[in-house]
Amino acid sequence: MRSAGFLTDRQRRLAWVGFLLAAFQAPLAANLIDDASWLFAVVVAMVVATIILADDAQRRRPAQAKAE
């Protein structure tokens, strides 16, 4: 049996939506805005991607058997 990740299925879907929105917003903002504020969208996308990857790693771990 596989262990569940720390994100629920709904949270995982929302994390993917947030990642995609931030990842697509960054290049658009870079083209439209003269300052470097678009870098914030890149940082947010990287943080959300790290959370998704950590959840994936935990889901792929085998479940630990109960100690008797």
In this predicted model, what pLDDT tens digit does every residue of 35-68 receive, in sequence order?
888 898 899 999 999 999 999 999 988 877 556 5
Q: What's the helix, strand, coil split of the chain in %, to 5?
A: 70, 5, 30
Q: Whole-angstrom Cα distance, residue 25 to residue 31?
A: 10
Percent of the chain with pLDDT over 70: 88
Q: Whole-angstrom Cα distance, residue 5 to residue 22?
A: 23
Domain map (residue ranges) of the chain: 9-60
Q: Whole-angstrom Cα distance, residue 54 to residue 39?
A: 23
Name residue 29's beta-bridge partners. none
Note the pLDDT of residue 5: 84
pTM for the model stands at 0.78
Residue 22 has pLDDT above 80, yes or no: yes
Name residue 2's beta-bridge partners. 62
